[in-house]
Amino acid sequence: MERTLTQLSEDYFKAAEDINCLIVKYRRLLNEAYNSNNYLKTYEIKRKLTIFYDQKRDILDTAYALKNYYKRDEEVMSA
């Protein structure tokens, strides 16, 4: 099954939304761990959140690159 770049970018945007749900969940867990003075758990959750934010940024970069792929070609052709 062939997919267009726009369809692929939509898949990446959906993946970013999924990661965002994880971020919300782990932000709540971070508050709970911080309030319970469990600093080891707080550290572990902060590490996971950092990874989630990095993943989300990479996914969104790819999504926008796919979405705007042909726009770059149009800008070069018109210059």
- CA nearest to 27, candidates 42, 17, 14, 13: 42
CA angle, 38 then 43 then 47, to 5°: 150
Q: With a threshold of 0.85, does the pTM exceed it? A: no
Give residue 2's pLDDT.
81
Euclidean distance between CA atoms 5 and 7, whole angstroms: 5
Give residue 71's pLDDT.
79
Give residue 18's pLDDT.
98
pLDDT band at 74 (very low <50, low <70, confident <90, very high): low
The string of pLDDT tens digits covering residues 26-67 is 999 999 999 999 999 999 999 999 999 999 999 999 999 999
